[in-house]
């Protein structure tokens, strides 16, 4: 079973920056894609950005040029650097990690989520 710990988030003024972290641990043999999603109240989670094990990245259009996703494979940790934040970025941010576990199964799991609030 993979354990996922998220950190970062909080309150920031419009135009400000925040960095989110997502660390995976536990009985896993390999970590594949890692991704960030966000969820607005009353809405479904939406894809924000992803990074493959080889470093290939993808972003939703509204965050391109403002957010940067990265990962450190030596630490099994993913980051989301968020710059030029807007009030419409306010949401709960979740990380999603796809792993090959010690039970020889491939699956994806979610982090607990972290609140990001952009307000003056």
What pLDDT score was predicted for residue 93?
A: 98
* 2-15 exposure pattern, b = at least 16 Cβ within 10 A, e = fewer: bebebebbeebeee
Averaged confidence pLDDT in the chain: 96
What pLDDT score was predicted for residue 63?
A: 98
Give the pLDDT band of residue 80 (cuts 50, 70, 90): very high
In the predicted model, is pLDDT for residue 103 greater than 90? no
pLDDT tens for each residue of 8-60: 999 999 999 999 999 999 988 999 999 999 999 999 999 999 999 999 999 99
% of the chain surpassing 90 pLDDT: 90
């Amino acid at each position: 079973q993979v354990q996922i710990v998220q950190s970062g988030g909080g309150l920031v003024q419009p135009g400000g920056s925040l960095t989110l972290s997502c660390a995976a641990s536990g009985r896993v043999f390999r970590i594949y894609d890692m991704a960030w999603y966000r969820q607005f109240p009353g809405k479904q989670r939406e894809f924000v950005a992803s990074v493959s094990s080889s470093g290939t990245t993808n972003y939703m259009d509204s965050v391109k040029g403002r957010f940067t996703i990265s990962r450190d494979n030596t630490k099994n940790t993913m980051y989301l650097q968020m710059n030029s934040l807007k009030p419409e970025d306010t949401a709960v941010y979740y990380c999603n990690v796809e792993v090959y576990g010690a039970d020889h199964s491939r699956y994806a799991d979610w982090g607990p989520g972290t609140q990001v609030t952009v307000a003056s």
